[in-house]
Amino acid sequence: MTSPTPDFFSIFETLSRNKVDFIIVGGICGVLHGAPVTTFDLDIVHSRTQDNLARLLPALQELEAYYRGRQNQRLKPDLAHLSSPGHQLLMTRSGPLDLLGTIGSGRGYENLLPHSDEIEIGHLRLRVLSLEKLIEVKEEMGFEKDKAILPILRQTLLEKRKHRKPDS
Amino acid sequence: MRSNKVQSLSFPEHSPAENGPAYSESGVDLTLIRWMLSLTPAERLQTLQQTIRSILRLKGDVTHP
C-alpha cells in the first residue's frame, strides 16, 4: 500500500483553519529555523485544554487521521487519547503527524509557549519552538537519533547568531 | 519584499572564500546551513517537501505529477 506523500502545509492549513493551538517541534521545527535536515513526519505539541481538544478533533477528522502501525486497523484518535501527555503517532491524508502531549521532561504546550516564535508561511501564522529550546529538549532526551541531529542544530544556531543584525 | 510563495528553488553557487569555511570542526556542512538561512521559512518547508518527494519518487512510491 502506498502512503500519502507528506504535505505539511496542508496539515498546517487545516489545523489553523480550525483554530488549533499548537507548537511545531522536532525535525520540521529545525528545518523552519534553517537546519538542513530531512524528516518525514510532522511533530507538534498541542494545547490539551478542553476547548482546544474540541477544535483539534474535527481537524483530525478532516485530515482522516488514524493511528500508524496497526496494520489494517483504522483506529481513530479520540478526546481521551488527545488529552494524555503521551504521543499519538498518526497517519493522515497529508502524511504522518505526531501529536505530542509533552516532550522532554514533561514539557507541555503551556510550558513551551514562552519558548516559541511566531513565523509566517504564506497566509498562516504558526508557532515554532525556538531553536535554543529545541536543542535543549533534544539534549534532555538524549536518544541516539537526537544526538545525530544535534551538531547540525547547534551549528545552525551559531550561524544564525553570527548573521543576526544587532537590532533584530 | 520577498514573497513566501516560490515556484521553484535552486541550489546556490558556493563561493568558499566569501563565506568562510565549508565545514565546521565537527564536519557539519556550513554551506548548506548558510543556504537554508538565506531562504524564508516557507521556502525552507518547500525545500524539505521537494526533498521528500524526490526520495519517494526514487523509491517508486510517488508518480510524477
Q: B7 pLDDT exceeds 50?
A: no
Contact predicate B60/A2, CB 8 Å: no
Residues 49-88 of A with CB under 8 A from B: none
pTM of this structure: 0.89
Residues 46-65 of B with CB under 8 A from A: 47-49, 51-53, 55-56, 61-62
CATH for the A8-158 domain, from 3.30.460.40, 2.130.10.10, 3.30.70.260, 3.40.50.300: 3.30.460.40
Cell 521545527 -> residue = A29
CA dist., res. A8 & res. A22, Å (int): 14
Is the Cβ of B36 closer than 8 Å to some Cβ of chain A? Answer: yes
Complete DSSP assignment for chain A: -PPPPP-HHHHHHHHHHTT--EEEEHHHHHHHTT-----SSEEEEE--SHHHHHHHHHHHHHTT-EETTSTT--PPP-HHHHTSSSEEEEEETTEEEEEES-BTTTB-HHHHGGGEEEEEETTEEEEEE-HHHHHHHHHHH--HHHHHHHHHHHHHHHHHHHH--TT-
- Average pLDDT along chain A: 94
Is the Cβ of B19 closer than 8 Å to some Cβ of chain A? Answer: no
User: What is the per-residue pLDDT across B37-65, written as a single tens digit (0 to 9) for each?
Assistant: 999 999 999 999 999 999 988 888 765 55
CA dist., res. A11 & res. A75, Å (int): 19
User: What is the per-residue pLDDT across A80-96, written as a single tens digit (0 to 9) for each?
Assistant: 999 999 999 999 999 99
Percent of chain B surpassing pLDDT 70: 65
Is the Cβ of B13 closer than 8 Å to some Cβ of chain A? Answer: no
The residue extents of the domains of chain A are 8-158
CA dist., res. A103 & res. A118, Å (int): 19
C-beta neighbour count of A11 within 10 angstroms? 22
